[in-house]
Structure 1
């Protein structure tokens, strides 16, 4: 069984998720957007064993703490290859949007559609869901009926922005159609804001 600890971090209040195997305390860190010291402290307090850092996409507000966490734990960082250019622009983006300094992390692994990420006896499956960014992914636990949606889909009918030069509204609609085929009772854990379920968000999206 998976336990999920949610922390909205940084000026953009991006949700960082610690996804924990309840048996072993092995942990995936999803979207550590900022405040690395806070994340390290929580991992220590909860006595967790981090295995890997995952980004649902390469936007700066989801990866600003990655470099420091790599130093703290010597664990790999993974993102979809099509968002590598966004990781590369982290320093410039942090300066432009937040007037902050950030260090670009090293990408150790590339996520691809269908990859399986193991956490103890549990697993998350990678679903490539482009649109907001070309390399956006969702992470799905069929066993626990959980879907981490990044900035693809939020609660209350909201979806990710597609007004960036590299975004694609048509791809976003295809990605939404893909996840709306999943069990309607699956809980979604978005990149910002509160949780919801697929059934509710699909109904709101089709209004």
Structure 2
């Protein structure tokens, strides 16, 4: 149960205290992976590292230090894990502290890179969304312009067709007028020829002699 992950006994010890002091390394690793507090203190202010260092469990000290526990926490007597450690472990603890400093620096650098990459992705996503919004805003405008161009081109073509039809009708009217003129002209010519062929009426002349 995650709610009881750091449950303490009557002395304030947690399962991680017990695993570290007794050398139950696999259990200690599992407890750390499960989220047990690395720096939890018992009622005397001892952390799991205090316990592991005091009882000389070298491997447990390494596991806790590499998990980046706080190696400088003091108990109620003001003692750090270095102060209560077995004599043979002090040098090992000092080496672990140097290694821990390197691990912390690497972790900070890695976190900064992750944060920077995340920020760049967020900004990139923001600009992409902004470009998408602008594109979506421009697309209807371009479509409207295309439709207007289509309408104007269709209206101009209709006007051209109307002009062509009007010119064709005028041409047909002129063509219809020409035969009438020709007919009228031929009729006038025939009338004049007929008039020429009809002889003039004889004049009534009376001679003086008959009178």
Same-fold status (TM-score > 0.5) = no
TM-score range relative to shorter protein: under 0.3
Greater share of strand residues, 1 or 2?
A: 1
Greater helix percent: which structure?
2
